[in-house]
Amino acid sequence: MAEKESNGVRVCVTGGAGFIGSWLVRKLLEKGYTVHATLRNTGDEAKAGLLRRLVPGAAERLRLFQADLFDAATFAPAIAGCQFVFLVATPFGLDSAGSQYKSTAEAVVDAVHAILRQCEESRTVKRVIHTASVAAASPLLEEEVPASGVGYRDFIDESCWTSLNVDYPLRSAHFDKYILSKLQSEQELLSYNNGESPAFEVVTLPLGLVAGDTVLGRAPETVESAVAPVSRSEPYFGLLRILQQLLGSLPLVHVDDVCDALVFCMERRPSVAGRFLCAAAYPTIHDVVAHYASKFPHLDILKETTEAVATVRPARDRLGELGFKYKYGMEEILDSSVACAARLGSLDASKLGLQKG
């Protein structure tokens, strides 16, 4: 969509102050869109001020709304008048007393129902685009493989749905809760396309591990995970191990490519709906470690000690078939993640041989 065509077009970004949401808000403002961004607390000046300063001169095209996924009705004012809605917000745990929900998954599904209803009632929304997770697209086989007890489909694709009935090494109850919420919310959203007379289209993008850079003042957890072999952080390295066991590889994608893909799905004409995996590379942890060891031979890189799992690649690139192109490959994603972490103080730039800033 040319910039002149974006003038006057209103889009809603839920979770506008988050890692992906803030990058997306900036990109949309730069392209000339009017953006309705939701935050859990618009009175949080650190977050609200960051969004207002993202694009000089664009403040008049940015409206901030207070909304919370645990009270989905609060999204209605932000959605009103918008043609496109990006569901980027991620719910926090149900730690607060008095929650009406038994689990995060239950809360998210209820929020999905409410937001879809609000989109229908707006009578302006044409497409809803959701940032899903590749963690909900595991190619693990349900039947056991005699040699290892775990097996994978030959390829990962959009037909893969993670089964919580399958055990795998390093499985954790905490990560299962995350998977369940992502799994159920994505399936609920996609089911809207199969309704009797849907008022708009739904697109979901199951994202790989999102890394690369950020406009936030701290390194996001997924960036911290991407640089874990360099930082020697065992907890963050543990996330890489879990993902590899779950997925048979370590899908990676740069946050800028993610937001380009989201905008691509919004601007696609005349129609786009359904599920599209979004990852530029599918390396193993061994591939990631090898890259860092070559890049920083003077450092003691944290290495993977377990045997390599079978490498599962995508069967096809559905986004690519529509015309989308990734700008960042594995090496660029990892190198920019290191530069980001060093800039924000998560890595010591002097030890890396990088200039901080």
* C-alpha to C-alpha distance for 225 and 241, rounded to whole angstroms: 10
Annotation-wise, does 182 bind a ligand?
yes
Mark 249-283 as b/e (b = at least 16 C-beta within 10 Å): bbbbbbbbbbbbbbbbbbbbeeebbebbbbbbbbb
* C-alpha to C-alpha distance for 112 and 5, rounded to whole angstroms: 29
E strand or H helix at 237: helix 234-247
Residues present in the chain in total:
357
Annotation-wise, does 164 bind a ligand?
no
* C-alpha to C-alpha distance for 136 and 162, rounded to whole angstroms: 5
Annotation-wise, does 40 bind a ligand?
yes
Annotation-wise, does 51 bind a ligand?
no
Name the DSSP letter for residue 162.
-
Annotation-wise, does 78 bind a ligand?
no
* C-alpha to C-alpha distance for 305 and 135, rounded to whole angstroms: 23
Annotation-wise, does 18 bind a ligand?
no
Annotation-wise, does 31 bind a ligand?
no
* C-alpha to C-alpha distance for 170 and 192, rounded to whole angstroms: 34
Reading the block at residue 161, the tokens are 């749905």
**HEC string for 177-189:** HHHHHHHHHHHHH
Annotation-wise, does 207 bind a ligand?
yes
Task: Compute the Cα dihedral for 268, 271, 273, 277 and give only its sign.
Answer: negative
CB atoms within 10 A of CB 341: 27
Give, in order, the Cα–Cα distances in Å from 248 to each of 133, 202, 277, 295. Answer: 15, 28, 15, 25
Annotation-wise, does 208 bind a ligand?
yes
177 an active-site residue? no
Annotation-wise, does 180 bind a ligand?
no
* C-alpha to C-alpha distance for 239 and 224, rounded to whole angstroms: 10
- Active-site choice (182, 295, 325, 351): 182
Active site residues: 182
Residues of the binding site for NADP(+) = 40, 47, 68-69, 88-90, 178, 182, 207-210, 222
Q: Which residues are annotated as a binding site?
A: 40, 47, 68-69, 88-90, 178, 182, 207-210, 222
